[in-house]
Amino acid sequence: MTTTDTTAAETNDPIRNGVDTAALFATLDAVRQAPAAAKFQFRAHNQWVSGTHNRTTIADYFGVGEERSHERTFVFDADHPPTEFVLHALASCLTAGLANIAAARRVTLTEVRSTVTGDIDLNGILGLSPDVRNGYQQITVRFTIKGDAPVETLRELMEQSRVRSAVYDVITNQVPVTLEVNVPDIPEGARS
Amino acid sequence: MTTTDTTAAETNDPIRNGVDTAALFATLDAVRQAPAAAKFQFRAHNQWVSGTHNRTTIADYFGVGEERSHERTFVFDADHPPTEFVLHALASCLTAGLANIAAARRVTLTEVRSTVTGDIDLNGILGLSPDVRNGYQQITVRFTIKGDAPVETLRELMEQSRVRSAVYDVITNQVPVTLEVNVPDIPEGARS
């Protein structure tokens, strides 16, 4: 069996593996016609709750030339861009670190808010331009912090959180990734 | 007001900003005594559902010398290591890409499972060793794929997903991160 053994009816089926291939190719064509439409900016809005507990909401983004909103706010196992999890992870890590460090230095925080934005050009992952990287080209984190300490002290806490952040390290430096693939060799006759 | 203006009673309070500082320092001491206990491995278990929809469960990990389980499985805004989101993001990105690419190449997938493990030494983020990085030292992704194509074809789909993955790019290459901090300058008399 090869990948071309499927029938014409099957190959023309717009849905395969649950993927709307018609929409997929339509998107490819649309971006091929207007490359600027592929410039996206995903965002995660994070608010500290208490201790290392904080909450991120993913709702709005910029794409296809304008401000947009997801149809619903983020749910863990929902179908949405995985790259948004990286932004959530960064905000969560920096905020948790800030709370820990502030506590260790005897500073009481009253409010911590942050917005993380990641700029991405979908020409990369769509394979339409070899000059565009797949991932974010730039990530920006904007924090607002309030607490019972001078402005300079609060800034120092944030800086120390950055210096000690695991996710900040992962994103700004390189982590080696090993990919192992197991494909059970099913006899041809047993394949569906 | 400075950070040392708090009273002795306040400084001895084990909870500040919701952080259990007593437990925090106890952990620091414990790891200082037994540095090997800080070697953790977090994991995300991912299973493809349909299309670009897949599900990650975060439940077990290795730490303090043994296999462990979180008290509960992952909930979006819960209090747990933010670095686990990076693993979830990677599994989700590679799986969604695989489904898209398989569909584009007319391969029907019947099962896609993956486990992502990230090795981290908490000596880094705890500031106990300048030689240990804050983030993951190594990430390993293990996929099991089944579908109506020869083994080599399924492996090629996975390889193409890796080559086009945004999260894989973010993790294995560098993304510049800009951190902006806004600290409203509240008059001393108005501080709580």
Q: How far is A118 from chain B (nearest CA, A)?
A: 9
At residue A32, the pLDDT reads: 74
By C-alpha distance, the chain A residue nearest B77 is: A55
The H-assigned helical ranges of chain B are: 8-12, 21-33, 83-104, 151-163, 166-172
* Cα–Cα distance measured from residue B113 to residue B98, given in angstroms and rounded to the nearest whole number: 11
The reported pLDDT for the residue numbered A4 is 34
CB B17 within 8 A of CB A99: yes
User: Measured between alpha carbons, how far is A20 from A17 in angstroms, rounded to an integer?
Assistant: 9
CA atoms within 13 A on the CB side of A127: 13
Q: Hey, which residues does A54 pair with through a beta bridge?
A: A48
Q: Which residues of A touch B136 (CB under 8 A)?
A: 166, 170, 175
Option in A167, A172, A179 nearest B174 (CB):
A172
Is residue B60 predicted with pLDDT exceeding 80?
no
| Residues B82/A96, Cβ–Cβ less than 8 Å | yes
**Minimum mean pLDDT among A160-169, A181-190, B88-97, B114-123: which range?**
A181-190
Give me A153's structure tokens.
Answer: 């002290």
Of A2, A74, A146, the CB nearest to B76: A74
Considering chain B, what is the average pLDDT of its residues? 74
pLDDT tens sequence across B70-92: 776 655 553 455 777 787 778 87
The pTM assigned to this predicted structure is 0.72
Task: Tell me the two tokens of residue A141.
Answer: 């984190």
Chain B hits for A121, CB-CB cut-off 8 Å, are: none
Residues constituting chain A? 192
Taking residue B138's Cβ as centre, other Cβ atoms within 10 Å add up to 13
pLDDT for res B16: 61
- For residue A85, is pLDDT > 50? yes
Look over chain A and give the mean of its residue pLDDT values, rounded to a whole number: 74
Residue A182's pLDDT band (cuts 50, 70, 90): very high
Mean pLDDT, rounded, for A151-159: 94
Query: Which residue in A137, A182, A188 has the most chain B C-beta atoms within 10 A of its own C-beta, making it the best mutation to test that interface?
Result: A182
CA angle at residue A183 from B84 to B120, to 5 degrees? 20
Torsion of Cα atoms, A15 then A16 then A19 then A25, to 10°: -70
Q: Which one of A26-30, A104-108, A126-130, B166-170 scores highest in mean pLDDT?
A: B166-170
Is pLDDT larger for residue B178 or for residue B109?
Answer: B178
| Contact assessment for residue A98 and residue A164, using Cβ atoms and an 8 Å cutoff | no
Report which DSSP code applies to A51: T
- pLDDT band, very low/low/confident/very high, at A81 (cuts 50, 70, 90): low
Q: Which residues of A touch B191 (CB under 8 A)?
A: 148
Q: Which residue has the higher pLDDT, B186 or B151?
A: B151
> Which positions in chain B touch A171 (Cβ < 8 Å)?
170-171, 174-175, 177
Residue pLDDT, tens place only, A9-51:
344 566 665 667 677 667 767 767 877 776 656 555 565 655 5
Contact B134 A1 (CB under 8 A): no
Where does chain A have alpha helices with state H?
A: 8-12, 21-33, 83-104, 151-163, 166-172
pLDDT above 90 covers a percentage of chain B that reads 16
pLDDT tens for each residue of B104-120 = 788 888 888 788 788 88
> What's the complex ipTM?
0.72
For CA atoms B48, A74, A87, B97, the dihedral sign is: positive
The band of A72, judged by pLDDT with boundaries at 50, 70 and 90, is: low
Helix (H) or strand (E) holding B143: strand B138-147
